[in-house]
Amino acid sequence: MRLQEFEYREYVGQPEEWRISGLKLGSVNLIVGENATGKTRTLNTIHSMAKMLLRKQVFPEPHWITSFEDNGIKLEYDVKIDEGTVHHEKLVVDGTKTLHRDKDGTGTIRADEEGKHIKFKVPTSEPAVLTKRDLVQHPFLEPLYTWADSVLYYPFSSPMGKDYLGVFLESGEAKVDPSNFQAVIGIFRDGVKKFPKQFESDVMADMKRIGYDLTEVAVGLVPGLPSGLPIPGPAQALYARERDLKGKTWQTKMSQGMFRALSLIIQTVYAELTSDSGCVIIDDIGEGLDYDRSTKLIRVLMDRAEKSKVQLIMATNDRFVMNAVPLEAWSCLRRTPGGCEVLNHQNSKDLFDEFRLTGLNNFDFLATKFLSTENQDDE
């Protein structure tokens, strides 16, 4: 299932109000804008909706208005929460209202086996799409949960797990959580275990495409750690062998840019091999990489998204990234009082087409103030 349209509001009518509307998404998406326009906040609100649907987090006053496409079927989901209480909730499937609930927890839902809508009352603190999950009576609810479970969030400007080591006990393997981007060591080990012939090969192939020619990527005992550390077992870390270097390069010695790229590639390869669909969100993509590697990493990510059902949503301030992503995939944020508005090829086609005639590169779409309010008013 793929997120197509996204609108978000919070604290409406209050000094803290923030909102975004008009965000339309395809298979590959790049969110751009000047500093403090809301790029990271937008990604966080998409991620927070997934966490809400998985019962991983409660949010004070969110209001999500969304639409999804699921194998040709359109799902529209609208939910508003205020101080921990669900004020309203609605799910429409292909134009038919299948679920509706009110602030007191009462509502109606279609029961497929019975062939009619039935009444219900659920706790006011939880969305009905969670409390009413039933594959027999309400199978139309399951795609929302499946989507939420597939959402992966990577803050590329962070260490991406570089400052975490792994400890693996003989008593049994802990379950791998792909949504924890810092657990890259465990994700790598699980990928090698599940896909012994393909996983490491795919990781090294992608690393080679961005300029790191590796002959091995593996996990091993970290050399040189002081004894007596308060941990329940030997510490392990990722290392790589580069073709033109004799020794191993441990994650603790890798440049931040190289490790970020390695971590992201490991986790996106794992996501693709373990699921035929999903939603990958990457903030500050390209941060810490030079021009060549930044643009090549974008190409690797876009190629993986285009050949799979994975939806790629990225945000950046990096000019190299902007120049590598077609303008058709851009969502340009412009700050407004209490939020931001979105300009894209769908709602501002003339503006985008006019810019192409200038012969400038994509980054200049922002750098030349082409999207300024004054320029819009002149039109």
> Are residue 51 and residue 144 in the same domain, yes or no?
yes
> Are residue 212 and residue 339 in the same domain, yes or no?
no
The values of phi and psi at residue 271, to 5°, are -60, -40
Answer yes or no: is 270 within a domain.
Answer: no
CA distances from 373 to 239, 312, 334, 344, 345 (A): 49, 29, 9, 15, 17
Nearest to 47 by CA among 150, 183, 160: 150
Answer yes or no: is 271 within a domain.
Answer: no
**Helices 291-306 + 199-209 axis angle, to 10:** 140
When computed from its CA atoms, the radius of gyration of the chain, rounded to whole angstroms, is 23
Look up the CATH number of the domain holding residue 87: 3.40.50
Answer yes or no: is 265 within a domain.
Answer: no
Answer yes or no: is 338 within a domain.
Answer: yes
> Are residue 151 and residue 201 in the same domain, yes or no?
no
Structural tokens at position 13: 């009518």
Alpha helices in 151-254 (DSSP H): 184-194, 199-209
> Are residue 150 and residue 173 in the same domain, yes or no?
no
* Final residue of a structural domain among 231, 260, 289: 260
Structural tokens at position 163: 């400052």
> Are residue 11 and residue 117 in the same domain, yes or no?
yes
> Are residue 129 and residue 193 in the same domain, yes or no?
no
> Are residue 9 and residue 144 in the same domain, yes or no?
yes
Its pTM stands at: 0.93
Answer yes or no: is pLDDT of 180 > 60: yes
Answer yes or no: is 84 within a domain.
Answer: yes
The values of phi and psi at residue 71, to 5°, are 50, 50
Answer yes or no: is 300 within a domain.
Answer: yes
* Owning domain of residue 183: 166-260
> What was the pLDDT predicted at 46?
97
Structural tokens at position 374: 């004054």
CA distances from 261 to 33, 190, 288, 308, 311 (A): 23, 19, 9, 20, 19
pLDDT, tens digit, 9 for 90 and up, residues 70-124: 999 999 999 999 988 999 999 999 999 999 999 999 999 999 999 999 999 999 9
Q: Which of 300-304, 324-328, 374-378 has the lowest mean pLDDT?
A: 374-378
pLDDT, tens digit, 9 for 90 and up, residues 186-233: 999 999 999 998 999 999 999 999 999 999 999 999 887 766 666 667
> Are residue 331 and residue 243 in the same domain, yes or no?
no
Residue 379 near residue 372, CB atoms below 8 Å? no
CA distances from 53 to 114, 309, 373 (A): 26, 21, 37
> Are residue 95 and residue 242 in the same domain, yes or no?
no
> Are residue 151 and residue 184 in the same domain, yes or no?
no
Confidence band of 38 (pLDDT split at 50, 70, 90)? very high
How far apart are the C-alpha atoms of 33 and 42, rounded to whole Å? 12
Q: Give just the sign of the alpha carbon dihedral 324, 329, 334, 339.
A: negative
Answer yes or no: is pLDDT of 10 > 80: yes
* Final residue of a structural domain among 233, 260, 287: 260
Answer yes or no: is 351 within a domain.
Answer: yes
Tally of CB atoms within 10 A around 379:
8
Q: What angle do CA 251, 247, 206 make, to 5 degrees?
A: 55
> Are residue 227 and residue 148 in the same domain, yes or no?
no
> Are residue 90 and residue 146 in the same domain, yes or no?
yes
How far apart are the C-alpha atoms of 82 and 210, rounded to whole Å? 46
> What was the pLDDT predicted at 173?
63
User: Exposed, middle or buried, 337 (CB in 10 Å: 0-12/13-18/19+)?
Assistant: exposed
Note the Cα 182 to chain centre separation in Å.
15
Number of domains in the chain: 2
Answer yes or no: is pLDDT of 341 > 90: yes
> What was the pLDDT predicted at 379?
41
